Amino acid sequence: MFAHIVSSVLAQQECGELQTFRLQWKFGWDGSHLDTWLHTAAARKVKELDLDIFMHDCDVENLKLPPSFFSCRTLVVSKLSDLSFTTDLFEVAYKLCVPTLKRLSFSENVYNLCNYKLKINTPALEYFNFEGDLRDIKFHEKLDNLVQANVESYVYDIHKEFYREWVFRLFTALNNVKFLSFSPYGTEWHNVGNIYPSSFQNLVQLDFNVTDCNWPMLQDLLQNAPNLETLVVTKEPQYDRDYLSSHLTSFYYGGFEGLKDEEEFVKYILKEARVLKTATIQVYRGKSKENVLEKLAQ
């Protein structure tokens, strides 16, 4: 009955453009209708597609995204829920080609030993999120429209010989980003070296999660961000005085505990950032704000 209603409604809407097609199907999934529905939506120049489909294991084989989904050139937003890919060994090559895609999020939930490859062709991308153990990711071209990127990546000893090339390639694609959040984890980052391909001329805000192993990477990134306006540093950095963007106007430091390295780093920012307008220091719980201000004022 539900499938009949959806088919009837779409059949009655034969002219005009379709802004949004949202399908929520929780029980009794029958994937035989999806091809026709998405073909109709594509013909109506749909801009936003939202599929929220729940299936039992026995129904999985009945759901396949039809070719009309991948060839829809007007699609701007695609939201897919309850969609999964299962394989015994995740190690082959995968390709994502959506010329109109504006938001892409990729995440791994478990540690993966396999060296899979991922090719991405999304020239219109504006938002990119990556969380996981970085692999061989190749972008078809630079992302000239990219506004925001969040990268939370790990380096494990087993893959360290490839990491410099992988990270270099990733940041080559992200070179035009305006707002960057970078959280490099793992003990092998200190062996990666300077992996930034060139100057990040458009970068105005940087959020960097510092550990004992990746502090040189922050220094290198600052050296390649001449127009940086806002710097947000979390966790404990190791201090280095070599470089600071002369354009820095806003600074945020989270979790300040009053440690010597922290104190020296914050003092350096406050002293050397000559065009700084606002500085926000979040004091770690249990620490006295008055005591922190007294230390920084010395």
Residue 231 banded pLDDT, cuts 50, 70, 90: very high
Q: What pLDDT is attached to residue 146?
A: 94
Residue finishing a domain among 43, 62, 83: 83
pLDDT value at residue 85: 46
Asked which of 26, 61, 83 is the last residue of a domain, the reply is: 83
Same-domain pairing of 148 and 284: yes
SS3 209: strand
pLDDT of 238 reads: 44
**Beta strands 77-81; 48-53: pairing state:** parallel
Q: Are residues 274 and 293 in the same domain?
A: yes
What average pLDDT does this structure show over 261-286? 80
Shared domain for 206 and 136, answered yes or no, is yes
Could you give the number of structural domains in the chain? Answer: 2
pLDDT tens-place string over residues 47-86 = 998 888 776 655 555 566 777 777 788 888 877 767 554 4
So what's the pLDDT on residue 194? 67
What pLDDT does 26 receive? 75
- The per-residue pLDDT for 140 is 84
Average pLDDT over residues 263-269: 80
Provide the pLDDT confidence category of residue 166 given band limits of 50, 70 and 90.
confident
Return d(Cα 58, Cα 230) in angstroms, integer.
Answer: 51
For residue 293, give its domain range.
Answer: 84-297
Whether 133 and 253 share a structural domain: yes
pLDDT at 214 over 60: yes
pLDDT of residue 192: 63
- The residue out of 83, 105, 137 marking a domain boundary is 83
More confident residue, 208 or 196: 208
Predicted local distance difference test score (pLDDT) of residue 191: 63
pLDDT value at 177 more than 60: yes
**Average model confidence (pLDDT) across the chain:** 78
pLDDT-based confidence at residue 145 (cuts at 50, 70, 90): very high
What pLDDT is stored for residue 141 in this prediction?
A: 78
Residue 3: closest CA among 29, 22, 21: 29
Using H for helix, E for strand and C for coil, what is the string for 62-109? HCCCCHHHHCCCCCCEEEEECCCCCCCCCCCEEEEECCCCCEEEEECC
